[in-house]
Amino acid sequence: MIDLDDELTQEYLEVCRDHLASMEADLLALEKGGPAIDRSVVQRVLEPLEWIQQKAAPLGLGKMAGLARRMEDVLVRVLSGQLAPKPERVRVLLRALDRLKELAQDPEGTRHEESREITDGLRRLRLRGAGRGGLRTLLVEDDFTSRLVLQTFFSRYGECHIAVNGKEAVAAVAASLEHGPPYDLISMDIMMPEMDGREAVRQARALEQARGIHSTEGARIIMTTAVDDLKEVVRCFHELCDAYLVKPIDLDQLLGHMKRLQLVR
């Protein structure tokens, strides 16, 4: 819950607006510089982004913290030489910066569809040319054979963590949100012991919401189950997942969903 009448929050937002103004000038300079990397400019942008993250979360400004973290992920790749700062790429960062400036003025502002577009744009930059280091996936599956097949598949696109039931999945999501980086994709089985997939999705989305991350801005969730039941499909989408597959999983269909959700190219 954001207390906009709190003096500390108002002081933070005022300082934040000053930081964002200076960041805009640096990003515009980076855009004009073309593909060459000016490390000092990138470093100047990274420093306030780190400050924004550290101060935003304790004040309940989760949207600002999450967006700053995604921008930082891209800029770290630029600084390390993994991603050339081409003008069209810097413009994605400038659009994210504009959204940060809006949130600094109105931290409770919605515009979820636009936020998702910005998040997806930053994700594509983070994945571009990243190979195995790109996508961060949480695979939640209690069946060994299914887990092995899916882990092998997801590992082609990046880091893949494993949970064998809903409780482990919720704990993993909580840890990723607390310490970062958050998961890009969660593959969630429905029928599991201890806590089923539907309840795990509810709790995972609640953890995101507590940090100001709307479901359209958080992890993409693909549900999997052996139950070919239309009611299950309706329930899953009602509980804020993004896609649904019936076992045995067709990997071509899975990849199609991942492309549609802009997780891979």
pLDDT of 10 strictly over 60: yes
Nearest to 162 by CA among 185, 141, 131: 141
User: What is the pLDDT, as a whole number, of residue 108?
Assistant: 72
pTM over 0.75: no
Helix (H, G, I), strand (E, B) or coil at 72: helix
Q: Which two tokens stand for residue 186?
A: 């969660």
Is the predicted pLDDT of residue 1 greater than 60, yes or no? no
38, burial (CB in 10 Å: exposed 0-12, middle 13-18, buried 19+): middle
The CATH number of 7-127, from 3.30.1330.10, 1.20.120.160, 3.10.20.30, 3.30.2320.50, is 1.20.120.160
155 vs 36, higher pLDDT? 155
Q: Give the per-residue pLDDT at 109.
A: 67
Residue span(s) of the chain under CATH 3.40.50.2300 come to: 132-260
User: Would you state the pLDDT for residue 140?
Assistant: 96
Task: Tell me the average pLDDT across 11-39.
Answer: 84
Cβ(231)–Cβ(82) under 8 Å? no
| Predicted local confidence at residue 153, as pLDDT | 92
Question: Using the 8-state DSSP alphabet, how is residue 249 labeled?
Answer: P
Quote the pLDDT of residue 126. Answer: 73
- What pLDDT digit, counting tens, does each position of 53-99 carry? 877 777 777 778 888 888 888 888 788 777 788 888 899 999 999 99
Amino acid occupying residue 112 = H
Q: Rg of the chain's alpha carbons, rounded to an integer?
A: 19
What does the pLDDT look like over 173-214, one tens digit per residue? 999 888 777 899 999 998 888 899 989 999 999 998 887 777
Mean of per-residue pLDDT scores for the chain: 84
Q: In what order do the strands lie in the sheet with 185-189?
A: 158-163, 135-140, 185-189, 220-225, 243-246
Q: Which amino acid is at 185?
A: L
246 vs 29: CA distance, rounded Å: 49
Alpha carbon distance 233, 259 (integer Å): 20
pLDDT band with cut points at 50, 70 and 90 for residue 251: very high
β-pair type (158-163, 243-246)? unpaired
- Tell me the per-residue pLDDT of 96-121, one tens digit each, with 9 for 90 and over: 999 999 888 887 766 666 677 888 88
Give domain 132-260's CATH number out of 3.40.50.2300, 3.55.40.20, 3.30.460.10, 3.10.300.10.
3.40.50.2300
What CA–CA distance (Å, rounded) separates 176 from 149?
24
Please state whether the peptide bond connecting residue 85 to the residue before it is cis, i.e. omega within 30 degrees of 0. Answer: no
User: What are 243's strand-pairing partners?
Assistant: 222
Joined tokens for residue 236: 């899953």
State what percent of residues in the chain have pLDDT above 70.
88
